[in-house]
Amino acid sequence: MKYPDIAFEPFFSWYNRPRIMYSPGVRAEIGFEMSQLGGSKVVMYTDKGLVNAGVADMVAEAIRSSEELELVGIFDDIVQDARIDIINKGAEFYRKSGADCMVVVGGGSVMDTAKAVNIMIGRKVDDFQPLADQAALWEGAKPLPPHIVFPTTAGTGSEITNALVVLDTESGVKLGVSHPFNADIAMLDPELTVALPAKITAFTGMDALTHAVEGITSTAAEPIADGLGLHAIRLIFKYLPLAVKEPDNIEARGNMLIASSMAGLCFGNTMTGAVHSTAHALGGKYGVPHGLGNGIMLPIVMEFNVEEAPLKFLMIADAMGIDVAGMDPVDAGMAAVKAVKDLKKEVGLTDTLTDLKIPKDPDELQALVELAAGDSQISYNPRYLEEEDIRNLYLKAF
């Protein structure tokens, strides 16, 4: 395909943290790398599922085996979504343990919880709620205690983004927060992801695909994000089915971790769009896992957006492996929508909002519509949405 010339704003800035290390077994480097950052007394943040599966212990053993580090505590009370009450408990645990650094082992909820804890430690505060209400914590921000993260899912990209999403359990609303100092090092170790169940592998992979597609089509998109997002899409279409069908396939697991981080770098700089807005509302009101919500809404929102950004969807279709030579860009975009639907079937992700027991009641739908309309990501969608548009997107998901 001859790539089209894509217009972009005459000014943009690119932000990139942390350092990324990749290798099967890279966790063995934790002692040296953390000591270089100045940390020695480690608290690990994880969840009970990863403890029971033995995944957390794979990293804990690497810490215990190092000459430089002491594991002073493991905080495993983190549940789905980064809840402010648990974030506050996590910060209290860090202080009582006498820690001077953190190692994080988990998926998006664990990684976002730990980011918020480290911000609290750096700011010497006891409650994250006032910080969550500010959304952007960049003014006067200072470096935080040493922080190394091991993602155990290939989806959220939280290991390399400076944003986190927290759940205000009292209002049932998910709040986006950003801070310039996230993890110091993201260690991508595919051996930590082989225990991931097939369905979670599938919907976290669809989460990464959503990040790439929305990052490329965002109103804030630029060439660097396009490059990262398009290659992430190539990797996801090649390796996600393999990772689902062959969970021990380290090559597939590794490429999915790399794709997830590339997609995270893409959307972390350009934001997302209506898939995320509608999925955030589903998560906040009904507890739908973020990756699953994104997987359900992605092809529906793509179809809504195709005519607004046809050249972008032409490139996306090409990255998916579709032969777009001579094809009209809108037709190529619609072929990309079909390819996403086919990929979902191939990895066994057939859920609808009906399957998730989301009520189709007009009042309940209106509440969802209002949450999505107020979400910060909606403004980055390439096509403007009225409330009626959002309602129609949800109705197509039943």
Tens digits of residue pLDDT in 12-37: 999 889 999 999 999 999 999 999 99
Chain segment 26-76, per-residue pLDDT in tens: 999 999 999 999 999 999 999 999 999 999 999 999 999 999 999 999 999
Nearest-angstrom CA–CA distance, 197 and 290: 16
pLDDT in tens, 215-232: 999 999 999 999 999 999
Reply yes or no: is the peptide bond before residue 18 cis, omega within 30 of 0.
yes
Comparing CA positions, the residue from 153, 147, 177 lying closest to residue 163 is 177
pLDDT band at 152 (very low <50, low <70, confident <90, very high): very high
Are the CB atoms for 185 and 33 separated by under 8 Å? Answer: yes
- Top pLDDT among 194 and 16 is at 194
- pLDDT tens, 101-135? 999 999 999 999 999 999 999 999 999 999 999 98
pLDDT at 172 (0 to 100): 79
Confidence of residue 354 (pLDDT cuts 50, 70, 90): very high
The tokens describing 114, both together, are 């730990």
Which residue pairs from 390-394 have beta carbons closer than 8 angstroms and sit at least 24 positions apart in sequence? 390/274, 390/277, 390/278, 391/365, 391/366, 393/274, 393/278, 393/297, 393/300, 393/301, 393/304, 394/278, 394/353, 394/365, 394/368, 394/369
pTM of the model: 0.95
| Cβ 43 vs Cβ 94: under 8 Å | yes
Give the pairing of strands 41-45 and 70-75: parallel
The full DSSP string for 304-349 is HHGGGSHHHHHHHHHHTT---TT--HHHHHHHHHHHHHHHHHHTT-
- The residue-averaged pLDDT of 253-267 equals 97
**In which residue are the tokens 């040493």 written?**
146
Reply yes or no on whether the pLDDT at 254 is more than 80: yes
As beta bridge partners, residue 163 has 178
pLDDT of res. 170: 81
